[in-house]
Amino acid sequence: MKPARVRGPAQDVAGLGVTRALGFLAPALLLIGAFLVFPAIWTIYIGITNYRLTGLEAASPSIVGLSNYTKALNDALFHNALWLTLLFVLGSAIIGQNILGFALAWTMRRARPAVRRTVEALVLLAWILPSTVVAYLWIAFFDRDTGTLNSILGTQGTAWLIDYPMVCLILFNTWRGTAFSMMLYSSALQAVPPSQLESARMVGASGWQTLRDVVFPHIRGHVLTNTLLISLWTANDFSPFLLTKGGPNHESETVPVYIYNVALQGGELGYSSAISFLLLLVNLLVALLYLRLLRKRS
Amino acid sequence: MRRISRMSRLAVLGSAALVLLTGCLGSSDSDSGDQDANRNADAKTVELTIGSNSVKGGKNSAGATWTQDVLIPKFVEAQKAKGVDVTVKFQGDGSDDEVYKQKLSLDLSNKSGPDLINIDGIWVGEFAQAGYIKPLTDTVGDAAKVDGWDGWTQIPESVQQLGMFDGKRYGVPGGSDGRVLYFNKKLFTQAGLPADWQPQSWDDITKAAQALKKLPGVTPVQINAGTAMGEATTMQGVLPLLVGTGATINTDGKWLGNSTQIRQVLDFYKSIYGGGLGDPVLQREAKGRDKSFAEFAANKIGILLEGDYFWRSVVEPKEGVAKMADRDTAVGYALIPASKPGGGIKGQNFVSMSGGGAVAINPNTKFPQQAWELLQFMNSAEMVESSLDGAAKITQRTDVNAKVLAGDPMLNFVATKVLPITQYRPGLAEYPKISAALQQATADVVGGKSTDAAAKTYETAVEAAAGSKDKVTSN
């Protein structure tokens, strides 16, 4: 965190003066204002109206106070969306990407450079391909009639995306996002002093003991950073929509998908803004928690 | 202390911003009527865009081809003769109707979008209420000019309703359609069923389905259900069945809630999808309707409830999205029976539902007069006839229908047998929300919920959509 701003020449090391300093800041502040602060305030505003995409309320919306928020608290579908988001984050980010990313980083550490580079390239590819392309590939993979998965397993006729939508999404997102965790852990593992690993080996520590007592204490901060970042990204991820549209019958409708469906399918822009704001609050809370934990660490 | 004051300063700033924003939403009073309808009326260089949910080689391919290859060049030519240099662009889409509607609503709410817009007749109400479209007389500015168009005399009153709301014309309708039961004659022969099948009741459908069930790899019957298909579920599923029970979704301004008829319809869904006669998974898939088309074309579905769109744009041998080379011999069609003979609306034995689209003028067009000219041009007898290009379609114009009807047996069937017994959806602004509730009810039943539970949830949704319990009938 920056130290609190105190006016006075002593702080003005570069000798810019307040006006010129503000001039330097202005472009960044304008961008933040236009694309971050304004939309956020706009969302709060729409959230207290009954604004709709079409119909009378589209032409002349009225202020309805907090009723959108009370509606959200009693909305079974919103609760469903929250629960599914929690599952999604827990399954694909906190467990899936974290563990797979670490496992890859740990095993690739001593692999031959050629193998290592190939694996990294493949994992990275999953991360950098455009979502639409990836979604198409996965739909083809899970498809009921001519899907790759059914051909491999010999389970013709199993509609994976219909029968196990959340499992599919968790698998998909684990595959999709592991690259970040892998890269972060690869560099974190380099911070573990080789001498300590060597000594652990000398005293006959098992693989698990080495991980727990030697490696983990060194990378604890990285685990925290990684988990929080990927959790936030996953919670706000919209690509589930590309695979299932939230279906069948709301069974894979995570909060971002639910917001989209409420806003555009249902046309309830006011209500969806209220939910967006709730999601924004949760995000802020998590971010604050993250900053606090980081500060504690340093 | 410092922190608190900073927080309160933020709060003050925030609420000030909110106060400033109040009144920024919506478009009710700011723009109505203050645009000059004769703006750019004498322009020599004109640019117009036609927006439609059709695309060459994809959805409604024939319509897109006609617009781009016939309508636009002819219009440009006709205008050139008058000394006006017109450029007409075609903005085609190939998406689900719901997605197209969302895109259009967003465009129109931002005062942009194509100059001429193709919309479904049931969107007219909500678009009009939102101020996204305006009565033609307002946009064109001259009531005599609009009402005096000779085309109106050729369009039947019931079809004109598709482009109307509150008794005002918002667009020119583009023809009507009707729903029938399609069946695969090849599968019927294999199952020992007659090739000129005509069920007299829902039981007859079930019986045929049970015979078809014995064929390996064949889904006997598919009746649209679930939310993924959107309006297709309501139009090609719930409503044709509902009128077969003798009820309509809106009678005398009251919506049908949890009632015997709704439960009867849901029970029928249950008997089909719970009884292994239909494929429930298909109804839950994101691309279920397209898949049902493909499966029908691949001789994997026995009976399918669809509109005449299915005949002319889906299994159509040349340009359809799921072509069937042997369509004319392999695909049979039958009237949709009432639940039991005489049990349909108005005591009918057979029932159907009809809808159709309309073309409206974007109120924010730069060239309202030229847009109206193009709209008349595209609905002239000559153009409407050329749009058929030998294919089957019931047009909006009686004069054109009289000429072309006899040419296609399917078209003739719909025009002479289906249209006289058909029903239209209520042109009320709440309709789309009621429709969504019906879709959800079928989704619940197909997903395994009991009829009663689904009907109860439906009732709650209908009451919310209608605004009060007084506007809902239940029994």
A241 to chain B: closest CA residue? B286
Q: In the structure, what pLDDT confidence band is assigned to residue B14 with cuts at 50, 70 and 90?
A: low
Mean pLDDT of B18-33: 53
- Kindly report the backbone phi and psi dihedral angles of residue B351, in degrees, each rounded to the nearest multiple of 5, phi listed first: -140, 165
Residues 6+ apart with CB under 8 A from B332: B182, B183, B184, B185, B188, B195, B196, B197
Tokens of A154: 């010999």
The tokens 């972060």 sit on which residue? A184
Whether residue B32 is predicted with pLDDT greater than 90 in this model: the reply is no
Query: Tens digit of pLDDT for each residue in A71-84?
Result: 999 999 999 999 99
Query: Tens digit of pLDDT for each residue in A3-35?
Result: 555 554 567 777 788 888 899 999 999 999 999
Query: Tens digit of pLDDT for each residue in B264-320?
Result: 999 999 999 998 999 988 888 878 888 999 999 999 999 999 998 899 889 988 888
Question: Which of A56, A244, A266 has its CB closest to that of B129?
Answer: A56
Q: E-strand spans in chain A?
A: none
Contact A261, A128 (CB under 8 A): no
Q: Cβ separation of B130 and A63 shorter than 8 Å?
A: no
- pLDDT attached to residue A1: 44
Nearest Cα neighbor of B352 from B201, B235, B231, B269 is: B235
Rounded to the nearest 5 degrees, what angle is found at the Cα of B472, between the Cα atoms of B470 and B473?
110
- First-to-last alpha carbon distance for chain B, in angstroms, is 63
Q: In terms of C-beta density within 10 A (0-12 exposed, 13-18 middle, 19 or more buried), how is residue A279 classed? A: buried
Is the CB of residue B285 less than 8 Å away from at least one CB of chain A? yes
Question: Which of B25, B125, B129 has its CB closest to that of A61?
Answer: B25
- pLDDT attached to residue B11: 60
Is the CB of residue B109 less than 8 Å away from at least one CB of chain A? yes
Considering only CA atoms, give the Rg of chain A. Answer: 24
Whether residue B405 is predicted with pLDDT greater than 80 in this model: the reply is no
Mean pLDDT of B60-66: 87
Distances (CA, A) of A170 to A159, A164, A182, A240, B436: 16, 10, 17, 9, 29
Is the CB of residue B228 less than 8 Å away from at least one CB of chain A? yes
Q: What is the mean pLDDT of chain B?
A: 88
In chain B, residues 140-179 whose CB comes closer than 8 Å to chain A: none
A242 to chain B: closest CA residue? B286
Query: Tens digit of pLDDT for each residue in A200-214?
Result: 989 988 888 888 888
**CA-to-CA distance for A259 and A267, rounded, in angstroms?**
10
Cα torsion B435, B54, A258, A143 to 10°: value is 110
Tokens of B60: 């409604």
A63 to chain B: closest CA residue? B22
**Is B256 in a helix, a strand, or coil?**
strand
Q: In this structure, which amino acid lies at residue B242?
A: L
* Chain A residues touching B27 at Cβ < 8 A: 58-59
Mean pLDDT of B356-367: 94
Nearest Cα neighbor of B162 from B104, B108, B120 is: B120
Tokens of B454: 């689904």
Percent of chain A with pLDDT over 90: 57
* B292 half-sphere exposure, CB direction, 13 A CA radius: 30
**CA-to-CA distance for B290 and A63, rounded, in angstroms?**
41
* Chain B residues touching A163 at Cβ < 8 A: 281
Greater confidence (B388 vs B357) lies with B357
**CA-to-CA distance for A8 and A17, rounded, in angstroms?**
9
Is the CB of residue A51 less than 8 Å away from at least one CB of chain B? yes
Contact B43, B87 (CB under 8 A): no
- pLDDT attached to residue B352: 94
Helix (H), strand (E) at residue A71: helix A67-73
Residues 6+ apart with CB under 8 A from A155: A149
**CA-to-CA distance for A24 and A2, rounded, in angstroms?**
17
**CA-to-CA distance for A38 and A71, rounded, in angstroms?**
25
Task: Kindly give the interhelix angle for B72-81 and B368-378, rounded to the nearest 10 degrees.
Answer: 120
10 Å Cβ neighbour count for B122?
A: 24
**CA-to-CA distance for A194 and A200, rounded, in angstroms?**
10
Q: In the structure, what pLDDT confidence band is assigned to residue A138 with cuts at 50, 70 and 90?
A: very high
- pLDDT attached to residue A156: 83
Is the CB of residue B447 less than 8 Å away from at least one CB of chain A? yes
Nearest Cα neighbor of B183 from B316, B335, B290, B291 is: B335
**CA-to-CA distance for B333 and B181, rounded, in angstroms?**
5
Q: In this structure, which amino acid lies at residue B322?
A: A
Whether residue A292 is predicted with pLDDT greater than 90 in this model: the reply is no
Contact B335, B353 (CB under 8 A): no
pTM confidence score: 0.81
Q: In the structure, what pLDDT confidence band is assigned to residue A102 with cuts at 50, 70 and 90?
A: very high
The residues pairing with B334 across neighbouring beta strands, listed in sequence order, are B181
Q: Cβ separation of A51 and B129 shorter than 8 Å?
A: no
Q: In the structure, what pLDDT confidence band is assigned to residue B428 with cuts at 50, 70 and 90?
A: confident
User: Across the A/B interface, how many CB contacts are shorter than 8 Å?
Assistant: 96
Contact B338, B201 (CB under 8 A): yes
| DSSP 8-class letter at B273 | H
Is the CB of residue A245 less than 8 Å away from at least one CB of chain B? yes
**CA-to-CA distance for B442 and B230, rounded, in angstroms?**
11
Percent of chain B with pLDDT over 90: 60
- First-to-last alpha carbon distance for chain A, in angstroms, is 11
Task: Kindly give the interhelix angle for B368-378 and B381-388, rounded to the nearest 10 degrees.
Answer: 60
Q: Cβ separation of A247 and B127 shorter than 8 Å?
A: no
* Chain A residues touching B284 at Cβ < 8 A: 162, 247-249
- To probe the interface with B, which of A5, A42, A54 has the most B CB atoms within 10 Å? A54
B294 to chain A: closest CA residue? A145
Q: Cβ separation of B228 and A44 shorter than 8 Å?
A: no
Helix (H), strand (E) at residue B189: helix B185-190
- pLDDT attached to residue B26: 59
- To probe the interface with A, which of B2, B21, B25 has the most A CB atoms within 10 Å? B25
Whether residue B53 is predicted with pLDDT greater than 90 in this model: the reply is yes
**CA-to-CA distance for B304 and B220, rounded, in angstroms?**
9
Number of H helices, E strands in chain B: 23, 17
- pLDDT attached to residue B10: 57
Query: Tens digit of pLDDT for each residue in A171-228?
Result: 999 999 999 999 999 999 988 898 998 899 899 888 888 888 889 888 988 898 899 8
**Is B182 in a helix, a strand, or coil?**
strand
The tokens 């100059």 sit on which residue? B115
10 Å Cβ neighbour count for B143?
A: 12
- pLDDT attached to residue B29: 44
**CA-to-CA distance for A101 and A93, rounded, in angstroms?**
10
